[in-house]
Structure 1
Amino acid sequence: MNAQPLTPAEALRSALAGLLDGLPPKQAAQAVERLIANYRGRTPTDAPVLRDRSDVAAYAAYRMPATFEAVRSALDAFAAAAPAGWTPGSHVDIGGGTGAATWAVSATWPQERPVTVLDWAEPALALGRELAESNPLLNNARWQRSRIGAALTVESTALVTISYVLGELTADDRASVVDAAADAAETVVVIEPGTPDGYARVIEARDRLIAAGLHVAAPCPHSAACPIEPGKDWCHFSARVSRSSLHRQVKGGSLAYEDEKFSYVAATRLPVAPAPSRIVRKPQIRKGQVLLDLCLPEEELARTTVTKRHGALYKAARDAEWGDAWE
């Protein structure tokens, strides 16, 4: 009996597990703790924190599964809005490092396509190239060293992803990177941590993409201004991630999973059908009713209550998840 092929998520976890062979668990955990404290948004772009292969291996093993799941969630929402049967003919991953977003694209649209990963950290690119050997859809990907900033040039492409990158850049470089993506791509998907600062960077990118002539496909049901009052709240979502032993060791937890919070925007020149509305908080299930917080096409936020009297709609509300489209 032939074994079932691994899913992209399983293949990625398997490849990542092999990275830590020979690296003492305590050393890997210490490397991750140091990198978490210093890597995201706190280091000048001329002083890389991922210094060598052991640094990159430890950080990739710890962070790639979460990045993969967050990007895949954002891509799934975009795919639901895109024209039926659409797939990206090519993909450029800006600041892609070890390639989590490229794995997510190949999981969402499982066909081989021209893929280019741009990053300035050579150890990360080298490891991404090594990991891609476990994914046949990425065997021909190009891993290209490039400064991510004002001097960035991006070749014409169907899809650009920019995931967990903008927080590492200055304001001017963030603007340049988003503008370069908008000039080059039919569709741009930006993903950042689900924090107030991450959301602010996503909104900043969203505004620039709209100004460049793209329109929002997800998560928003419109391309008007975000109805959230700045400084009062932030829009973010959650993706479930299977925890590795390294995750549990670093965080001191025993659960087999954790939830990755992320903010995102997908903007495009395609004729898309955005969600009629979007669930923007975890649904609250109470006796005989479900409370849904929605972002509406009327450019406002509202709470709706679905009760047993609504029949099939009530069942749908009970099954609904944070981030889902809602009719």
Structure 2
Amino acid sequence: MDERELARATEALVSRYRSVAPATAPILASRVHVAAYAAYRMPATHAALAKALGAVADRGLAPRSLLDLGGGTGAAAWAAAGVFESLEAVTVLDQVEDALALGRDLVADATSPALSGATFRQARAGAWPDLEADLVTVSYVLSELDPQQQDALVADAMRRGGAVAVVEPGTPDGYARVLRVRTRLIDAGWTLLGPCPHAAECPLAQGDWCHFAARVNRSAEHRRLKGAELSYEDEKFSWVAAAAPGVAEPLVAEALPGRILRHPLKRKGFVEFQVCRPDGTAGREVISRKAGERYRNARDAEWGDVLP
């Protein structure tokens, strides 16, 4: 495949993911766009999902089955297989057959039985097959839809899953979409698994946005396609996950002490955090050397982690 075509397709993908308007056509509109996505966007999507699903696993969720709505080449499937040892079955649904075909090729030699036996099936939003799974993922899909379609997709995910995880770009508009999903989940009686340590109104809803970062190592091809020099990039993302009534109870016996919202400031003798607290507020927390083991844990804590 011509590298200039890949570079142009990558540039188009970058522009699309930065856009705030719903897509008027499928993002993966051709084989070239699918190849560009696999080289450029799939590693970033995988990194974001691995971090979000890792936080969900820390709450105790151990799904045996995964259903990924709009999953393309299978980034969520790879992330889930790397996080959940319990995973046995994976189904990826998407409207673009070229993306699904590449996804099948990518898992053909996977060492995970859940991945190597994964089903990649063509389907459109609003006409998903009648399937169910322990965990349903919806990642980087809502930006392609208008608000009514977004609500319908989230409802579809909730009908099909015992738990739902939604990941969007870590931009103000991506966060706004995640916040809308969060409200739907809470209103339906679902229990948040993350990142929020509470179900109150988001304290960042005015003038700020909740987002996190995942480090992505760039391959040589990745750097060429993007015209980049650094060997890595940080994928910014926003996310929310929740469990249905009956599923949530065993997972949330212990409340989260808080979620770290920014890079910690590590000084001599103390660590300063910006955190979201269980009481629904956000602000500054300082852990000093006097806290002993908690201070030692704080020295290792990073943006997006649970507060020690």
Query: 1:60-139 to 2 correspondence within 5 Å?
Result: 60-82=38-60, 86-111=61-86, 113-136=88-111, 137-139=114-116
1:53 aligns with 31
C-alpha contact 2:193 2:241 (8 A) present in aligned 1: yes
Gaps of 5+ in 1: 1-22
User: Which of 218, 222, 239 is 2:214 aligned to?
Assistant: 239
Tell me what 2:160 maps to: 184
CA pair 67-314 structure 1, distance change in 2 beyond 3 A: same
Match of 1:307? 288
Equivalent pair of 1:90/1:159 in contact (CA under 8 Å): yes
**Structure 2 counterpart of 1:262:** 237
Q: Is the 8 A contact 2:257 2:306 kept in 1?
A: yes
One-letter code of the match for 1:145?
Answer: Q
1:225: how far off? 1.9
Conserved 8 A contact 2:7-2:226? no
Give the Cα separation in 1 of the matches to 2:6 and 2:15: 14
Task: State the distance in 2 between where 1:291 and 1:254 align.
Answer: 32
User: How far does residue 112 in structure 1 lie from its aligned partner after superposition?
Assistant: 5.1
**Amino acid aligned to 1:134:** D
Unaligned runs of 5+ residues in structure 2 are none
Letter in 2 for 1:324: D
Q: Deviations over 1:89-148 (max 9, x none)?
A: 211001100110001011011355222111111111111111111324322222121111
| Residue 50 of structure 1: how far off its partner (Å) | 2.2
1:165 Cα shift?
0.5
Are the counterparts in 2 of residues 25 and 246 from structure 1 also a CA contact under 8 Å?
Answer: no
Check if 1:160 corresponds to 2:141: no
Cα contact 1:41–1:168 (8 A) shared by 2: no
Q: 1:224 aligns with which of 200, 210, 221?
A: 200
- Name the SS for the 2:99 alignment partner: helix
Please give the per-residue CA displacement for 1:220-271, whole angstroms capped at 9, x wherever unaligned.
Answer: 11122212233x0000111111111233223333222111111001100322
In structure 2, the residue corresponding to 1:143 is in which secondary structure? strand
Farther off after superposition, 278-287 or 234-243: 278-287
Larger mean Cα displacement after TM superposition, 199-208 or 26-35 = 26-35
Q: 1:199, 1:48 → 2: CA distance?
A: 22
The equivalent position to 2:185 in structure 1, one of 194, 198, 209, is 209
Matched, 1:250 2:250: no
| C-alpha contact (below 8 Å) 1:154/1:180 kept by paired residues | no
Q: Which runs of 4+ in 1 moved over 6 A?
A: none
Deviates more, 1:33-42 or 1:292-301: 33-42
What is the one-letter code of the residue matched to 1:138? L
**Aligned partners of 2:259 and 2:22: how far apart in 1?**
35
Task: Give the share of equivalent positions with the same residue, in percent.
Answer: 47
1:155 Cα deviation from its structure 2 partner? 1.7
Tell me if 1:26 matches 2:1. no
Once superposed, what is the RMSD of the aligned Cα atoms? 1.9
**Cα 1:306–1:49 shift into 2, 3 Å:** closer
Secondary structure at the counterpart of residue 30 of structure 1? helix
Contact 2:10 2:226 survives alignment (8 Å): no
**2:22–2:143 Cα contact (<8 Å) kept:** no
TM superposition score normalised by structure 2: 0.91
> Structure 2 CA distance, aligned partners of 1:49 and 1:90?
27
Q: Does residue 258 of structure 2 align to residue 277 of structure 1?
A: yes
CA distance in 1, matches of 2:74, 2:136: 13
* Amino acid in the other structure paired with 2:34: V
- The whole-number CA distance in structure 2 between the counterparts of 1:34 and 1:192 is 18
